[in-house]
Chains A and B, each alone.
Chain A
Amino acid sequence: MPENPTDEQLAVAAGAGNREAYEELIRRFYEKLMRYARKFLARYEDREDLLQEVFLKVYRHINSFDPKYKFSSWIYRIAHNEFINFIKKRGREPIEFVDFDVFFPHARAQTDQAAEFDGKLDLENLNDCLNKLPPKYREVLVLNYFENLSYQEISEILRVPVSTVGVRIKRGKEKLKIICREKLT
């Protein structure tokens, strides 16, 4: 194993039975995924147990990872799927069976950078507003603004076209502004 192995090299080693390699992967990604879970599943309990399930699932299926692609996208995808299934089981928020955003082409996304919010909101209120968004808008905003992932990376995680990511972020921001404005007044 090289001195500073990449995530992909660690994943391959873990698949070959190297437990230290997997331990290192957990160290690298636990906090990131916990942050993602805290933002995306703020109104749900048992996030820690759910995250544990994610890492156990990653371990079980580590040999299905193709090192040609980014490990981070792969592990985020597994986490995303588990989080969505978790929300569906709890039944508190509607998850669309068919998402028409992915059906038709949209105008190309304008920018890949996080936009700036109106400074009137503090983080707590922003999180509060975020929790009121439907999951499909919340997750792209969390991944883009808090996880600093690019549209391309989010597209790989959610397995939707890049243009759809842009559309969801745009609509998510619009809805978030409305929610936040109502909160301030």
Chain B
Amino acid sequence: MTQEKEILEKIEQGKIKILPHWYYLLKNVLIAVGTVILVLFVVYVASLVVFMMSFGNAAILPRFGWLGVGTVIAAIPWWIALLVIGFLLLLELVVVKQTSFGYRKPVVYSLLLILLFVLATGFAVAQTGLHHRLYLSTAERPIPALGHFYSDYGQKMEAVFVHRGNVVDLNDENIIVTAPEEEKSFSLSDNTRFPSGRDLSKGDPVAVMARERNGEWQAWAVQKLRRLEDFPMPMMNRRFKKINEINMHPGVY
């Protein structure tokens, strides 16, 4: 018996049945729903990262150069970065496998488009205040699945103190900075960084990044500012007014 006849005989005997249209309809619906959930999750995680990078001190720290950037990045849980990368790759797989156009161009194009989309929507969602509200609610009780994530990260950021004001006094061991609310003394060490240089005089507006150790504030970095109002960056001032309004970091500004 030829192979062709064997195939037809198996079909005649009912050993192979055609899958109905509704099977594919259901499959497509499930894939679509799954993709929407995936996109929402990726956007949520991306907006969470944007929030973290602009939350309180995290927005200020990059002003201190790589030390500040490194501090912000180190505080972000490693699994968040893995999650974002994993979900981006999953989205890419969906685009390439399930669409009739995803494979026609090199993967790098669709990957970049997905990345841009996720960053743009993540940034937009971060502006809505969703994560601020979640952060505030974790102060009272943990959020399901995320636990104390928001408050833990907030505490890590708050542990890095940033004070801005004008230089009152400066020597090799100490810098005293005043601000409208209080005057603070910070000890300097060989490890203290001066991203804008050590050329500081009395009256200069500065921002000091410091940690409290044994009752003493140790300066990690001292950044000279052009004007106090320019801290952390001119365009960020409006944002920090909003943060102050919801009273997230009393005493920092």
Interface residues of chain A, those whose CB is within 8 Å of chain B, are 14-15, 17, 19, 22-23, 26-27, 30, 48, 51-52, 55-56, 59-64, 69, 102-106, 155, 159-164
Q: Can you list 10 A-B contacts (CB < 8 A)?
A: A14-B18, A17-B18, A56-B7, A56-B11, A59-B11, A62-B18, A69-B100, A103-B106, A155-B103, A161-B104
From A103, A106, A162, give the contact of B104 (CB < 8 A).
A162
Number of residue pairs spanning A and B whose beta carbons lie under 8 angstroms apart: 70
B105 neighbours in A (Cβ, 8 Å) = 105, 161
The 10 closest A-B pairs by CB, nearest first: A159-B103, A105-B106, A103-B107, A55-B7, A56-B16, A64-B24, A63-B21, A26-B4, A104-B106, A102-B107
The docked-state distance in angstroms from the alpha carbon of A60 to that of B24 is 12
Interface centre among A14, A61, A64 (most CB of B within 10 A): A64
> How far is the CB of B26 from the nearest CB of chain A, in Å?
12
Among residues of A, the one whose C-beta sits closest to the C-beta of B21 is: A63
Q: Is the CB of B108 within 8 A of A105?
A: yes
Do A51 and B108 form a contact, CB below 8 Å, given A60-B16, A63-B21, A161-B103? no
Interface size of B by CB at 8 A reads: 25
Among residues of B, the one whose C-beta sits closest to the C-beta of A159 is: B103
Interface centre among A23, A59, A60, A62 (most CB of B within 10 A): A59
> How far is the CB of B22 from the nearest CB of chain A, in Å?
9
> How far is the CB of A161 from the nearest CB of chain B, in Å?
6
Among residues of B, the one whose C-beta sits closest to the C-beta of A22 is: B11
